[in-house]
Amino acid sequence: MASIYTLSGDLNEDIKKIISESQASDLSSDEQEQLMFYMETGRHISEIVRLFKVFRFNMENLRNTFYLTTSDELVRNEKIKLGVTSSGEVIDSDESNSEIDDEIAINALTINFLSSCRTLLESIEVFIDNSFSENFPQPEDLTRAALTSRAYDENFHYRLLVAMRNYSQHGNLPVSVVNGKCFFDFPKILNTPHFEHNAERRKQMEGIVNEIITETSNYPNIAFTATIAEGNLCATEVYVDFLRKVKATCEESDKNVRKLMEKHPNKVFQSPEHGFSLFTFILNDETSHSVAIEDTPAVIDSYLSEAEKILREEKAKVDELRKAFQPIKS
């Protein structure tokens, strides 16, 4: 897996020597492409892994602030130690009787979760759309259709979270709180002025509203906890599937770069104490680059192992939740 280093004035003398002796002509165009592909795919995958951790942080922050139960009753795990005065000043709640109320807290946490979920999956889509070329063909199963588009088409809860993310991005609070319970208020969301829903999504949401009213005579409030849990599981499944599908590409790229290291040993700076080799090269545009060559298969395996463990845990939690809910048809 590639790590990118900025070349500064206090470089190791061995690296300075490599740079001073390097010429763009030392590497063929194909070799330069191989190195840039290795470097950019490694950078982007590392970014996706960090975005997944941001997504997980927001999910855990939501769980750690509120007990999320099938009743959707808002019960704090612990008080948020902040207060907001009438003038909008944020203060320590111990200094005031004012505290951030549950509706503000649940919406703040949910908006962060929704945004990080969509940002994660959008980054995966950018990787899919921009990483491959004629010389680096795209694997048949590493496509939007096989990952994010399929999740969107097959999972109602994920589609709803996308809609709620867009809704919140246009200045609206997606979560309603009445009598201490939180939910997604479909009629309110559908009829919010100055916000246009996707036509297909609007039609589906209206169909669900009519079905709930017709079959149960209940007001069409959509359960908060189940929707968040199912959407969280869906996004985690897409992330794990992405790592599984991109693994072969990374392994092949790693093999190609190691062949280049053998061919151009004068461009390699070994750093045993840091556990990587630094490959320094100059492109035809005369820009210099240094890329750390690590054990890519092992790095991907570690990402995947951690993600699969999280996925198993999330599946177990959702399985328990599903026992208490009547699922909505997708």
pLDDT along the chain (330 residues), means of 10: 46 54 66 89 95 96 87 76 59 54 90 96 95 89 91 86 86 90 85 70 69 63 89 96 94 91 82 67 70 86 96 94 64
Side chain identity at residue 62, one-letter code:
L
CA-to-CA dists, residue 28 to 31, 37, 42, 139, 155, angstroms: 5, 14, 21, 25, 47
Structure tokens at 126: 């950018």
pLDDT at residue 93, as a whole number: 56
Dist. CA 245–CA 78, nearest whole Å: 40
Three-state SS string over the chain comes to CCEECCCCCCCCHHHHHHHHHCCHHHCCHHHHHHHHHHHHHHHHHHHHHHHHHHHHHHHHHHHHHEECCCCCECEECCCCCCEECCCCCEECHHHCCCCCCHHHHHHHHHHHHHHHHHHHHHHHHHHHHHCCCCCCCCCCCCCCCCCHHHHHHHCHHHHHHHHHHHHHHCCCCCCEEECCEEEEEHHHHHCCCCCCCCHHHHHHHHHHHHHHHHHHCCCCEEEHHHHHHHHHHHHHHHHHHHHHHHHHHHHHHHHHHHHHHHHCHHHEEEECCCCEEEEEEECCCCCEEEEEECCHHHHHHHHHHHHHHHHHHHHHHHHHHHCCCCCCCC
C-alpha 18/C-alpha 211 separation (Å) is 70
Both tokens of 131, joined, read 């990483």
Q: Say what the pLDDT of residue 230 is.
A: 93
Q: Give the pLDDT of residue 3.
A: 46
Q: How far apart are CA 162 and CA 305, in angstroms?
A: 27
Backbone φ and ψ of 232, nearest 5°: -60, -45
Whole-structure pTM value = 0.82
Determine contact, residues 169/118, Cβ cutoff 8 Å: no
263, 251 contact by CB (below 8 A): no
| Tally of CB atoms within 10 A around 320 | 11
Is residue 245 within 8 Å of 141, Cβ to Cβ?
yes
